[in-house]
């Protein structure tokens, strides 16, 4: 087979992921060429600050500072790796309009502007590849959009944020405080200096909306469903869950329920016998259920430089051999169709974990059970330990596991519990996945 002309790539952004992509392309050029019968050449790396110290050495003649390089007619593919939605959106539009294919790892951009950008790409007969936008090195985009396309996906349950999963692992296995676990995640490069989008659930919610779009053909704004992060958890919550036979994971869920989509991203108690409970460190896991294939599991590193860079390079290889150009126009990605309604949060039915700090005085349990009972919530089990010396005096910890009830019932109970003088604020409520 005759060797093809090199595929020439411009990389916009040389941060953590961009550096990893350049590292693979430069160090593994021979291997990639052998597998594609085509060279992939980095011809431009566009950065804001060319003098910044970086973890990888790049020839000076490859460094550019102007986005005008995107329109160079010799460039075939643009990798958008700067993050955010404003400049990144402009980069993708400029590249597509200039006749370039695009590879991106930007889940926030796709979540916000995916329909517009994909429409634009189709109009210009270009492809947008985004395997790295969800679950790091796990090839979940290809699995949902291609490998399982003979199925109607009926359920997605996933750990989609490796940073949060690493923090929870550190807390439980090393008895680390939340603050210390975050600091360790930052030291290892799993968390940004400002980790808020990881720990408040935003990142996982954005990734869930992308998978929902692919699996169910419905664009959902993260504001339309429950989102709760791990930033309000205490080490004692993980220890109580362990005592009860559970692990706490930041679980993203989208499933069909009588023609509606039940969606939420929350720290969730998962029974230890479930595969999802055994996912540790910065690993992700996605459980997909299809009407033909049944349940399938995909797992791998969901955070860090090289796993994400691996996914970016896999998209470049798909473009180099021509797979992406063939499949992109045919895939049901952000196509206009009748959306499924999102199930109102109040109608979601689950069991719940409740953790309180209550006054050490008679009548506390009676007050709690009365409030729960008045809202149709029954108690499955209860744990009350002796007073912790570090806790406020004359108070005791109390953990309650409920029977199944609706989110609406729990919200009504929350309001009454907040007014109860025997309960200290704040208290914590988490869903349970049995």
Structural domain spans, the chain: 7-136+307-327, 140-301, 345-433
Neighbour-count burial for 35-54, b at 16+ CB within 10 Å, e otherwise: ebebbbbbbbbbbeeeeeeb
Neighbour-count burial for 191-217, b at 16+ CB within 10 Å, e otherwise: beeebebbbbbbbbbbbbbbbbbbbbb
pLDDT one-digit tens code per residue, 149-176? 899 999 999 999 999 999 999 999 999 9
Residue 266, H or E segment: strand 260-271
Over residues 77-82, the mean pLDDT reads 97
- Kindly state the tokens that stand for 432: 């349970």
- As a whole number of angstroms, the longest Cα–Cα distance in the chain is 85
The torsion angles phi and psi of 380, rounded to 5 degrees, stand at: -90, -45
The Cα 180–Cα 283 span in angstroms is 19
Assigned CATH for 140-301: 3.30.360.10
pLDDT reading at 387 higher than 90: no
pLDDT for the residue numbered 336? 63
Q: Which fold has domain 7-136+307-327?
A: Rossmann fold (3.40.50)
Q: Answer with the residue of higher pLDDT: 189 or 256.
A: 256
Q: How confident is the model at residue 231 (pLDDT cuts 50, 70, 90)?
A: very high
Q: How confident is the model at residue 352 (pLDDT cuts 50, 70, 90)?
A: very high
Which member of 23, 100, 107, 207 is catalytic?
207
DSSP string, 284-297: EEEEEEETTTEEEE
pLDDT for the residue numbered 393? 67
pLDDT above 90 covers a percentage of the chain that reads: 82
> Thinking of the domain 345-433, which architecture would CATH place it in?
2-Layer Sandwich (3.30)
- Kindly state the tokens that stand for 403: 């029977």
Q: How confident is the model at residue 392 (pLDDT cuts 50, 70, 90)?
A: low
- Kindly state the tokens that stand for 282: 């910065």
pLDDT for the residue numbered 191? 87
Count of alpha carbons within 13 angstroms of residue 301, beta-carbon side: 12
pLDDT one-digit tens code per residue, 26-63? 999 999 999 999 999 999 999 999 888 888 888 888 99
Q: Does 207 participate in catalysis according to the annotation?
A: yes
The Cα 158–Cα 289 span in angstroms is 11
pLDDT reading at 335 higher than 90: no
Q: How confident is the model at residue 350 (pLDDT cuts 50, 70, 90)?
A: very high
Count of alpha carbons within 13 angstroms of residue 196, beta-carbon side: 1
pLDDT for the residue numbered 97? 97
Helix, strand, coil abundance in the chain, percent, nearest 5: 40, 25, 35
């Amino acid at each position: 087979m005759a060797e093809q002309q090199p595929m020439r790539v411009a990389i916009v952004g040389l941060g953590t992921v961009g550096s990893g992509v350049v590292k693979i392309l430069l160090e593994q050029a021979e291997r990639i060429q052998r597998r594609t019968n085509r060279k992939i050449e980095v011809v431009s790396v566009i950065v804001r600050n060319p003098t910044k110290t970086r973890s990888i050495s790049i020839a000076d003649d490859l460094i550019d500072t102007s986005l005008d390089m995107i329109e160079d007619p010799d460039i075939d593919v643009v990798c958008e790796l700067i993050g955010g939605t404003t400049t990144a959106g402009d980069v993708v539009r400029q590249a597509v309009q200039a006749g370039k294919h695009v590879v991106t790892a930007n889940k926030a951009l796709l979540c916000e502007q995916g329909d517009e950008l994909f429409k634009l790409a189709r109009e210009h007969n270009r492809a947008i590849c985004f395997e790295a936008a969800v679950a790091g090195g796990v090839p979940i985009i290809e699995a949902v959009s291609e490998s399982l396309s003979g199925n109607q996906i009926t359920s997605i349950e996933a750990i989609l944020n490796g940073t949060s999963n690493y923090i929870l692992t550190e807390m439980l296995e090393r008895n680390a405080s939340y603050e210390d676990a975050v600091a360790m995640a930052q030291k290892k490069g799993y968390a940004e200096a400002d980790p808020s989008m990881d720990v408040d659930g935003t990142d996982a919610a954005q990734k869930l909306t992308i998978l929902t779009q692919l699996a169910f053909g419905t664009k959902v704004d993260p504001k339309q469903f429950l989102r709760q992060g791990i930033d309000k958890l205490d080490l004692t919550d993980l220890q109580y869950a362990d005592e009860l036979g559970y692990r706490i994971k930041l679980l993203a869920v989208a499933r069909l329920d009588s023609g509606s989509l039940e969606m939420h991203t929350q720290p969730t108690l998962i029974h230890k016998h479930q595969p999802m409970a055994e996912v540790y460190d910065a690993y992700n896991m996605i459980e997909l259920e299809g009407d033909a294939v049944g349940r399938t599991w995909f797992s791998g590193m969901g955070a860090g430089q090289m796993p994400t860079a691996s996914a970016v390079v896999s998209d470049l290889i798909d473009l180099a051999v021509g797979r992406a150009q063939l499949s992109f126009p045919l895939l049901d990605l952000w196509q206009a169709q009748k959306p499924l309604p999102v199930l109102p949060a109040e109608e979601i039915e689950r069991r719940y974990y409740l953790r309180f700090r209550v006054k050490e005085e008679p009548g506390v349990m009676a007050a709690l059970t009365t409030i729960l009972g008045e809202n149709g919530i029954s108690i499955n089990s209860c744990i009350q330990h002796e007073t912790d010396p570090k806790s406020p005096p004359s108070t005791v910890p109390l953990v309650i596991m409920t029977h199944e009830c609706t989110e609406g019932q729990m919200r009504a109970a929350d309001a009454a519990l907040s007014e109860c003088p025997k309960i200290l604020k704040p208290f914590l409520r988490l869903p349970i996945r049995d």
